[in-house]
Amino acid sequence: MQLIDSHTHLYLPEFDDDRDEVIERAIDRGVTKMLLPNIDKDSVEPMLQLTVDYPGICFPMIGAHPTSIKDDYKEHLKAIHDNIKRYKFIAIGEIGIDLYRDKTYIREQKEAFTEQLRIAGREKLPVVIHTRESHDIILRLLDDAGIPDLRGVFHAFTGDHGQAREIIERGFLIGIGGILTFRNSSLDKTLEMIDMEHIILETDSPFLAPVPKRGKRNESSYIRYIAEKLSEIKKLPLEEIAGISTSNCNNLFKLY
pTM for the full predicted model:
0.97
What is the per-residue pLDDT across 80-113, written as a single tens digit (0 to 9) for each? 999 999 999 999 999 999 999 899 999 999 999 9
Residue 30 has pLDDT above 90, yes or no: yes
Where do the domains of the chain lie, and which CATH numbers do they carry? 3-215+228-237+246-253 (3.20.20.140)
| Residue 127 CB partners (closer than 8 Å, separation 6+) | 63, 91, 92, 93, 95, 116, 117, 120, 150, 151, 152, 153
Instruction: Write out pLDDT tens, residues 134-161.
Output: 999 999 999 999 999 999 999 999 999 9
Residues 6+ apart with CB under 8 A from 241: 196, 227, 230, 231, 234
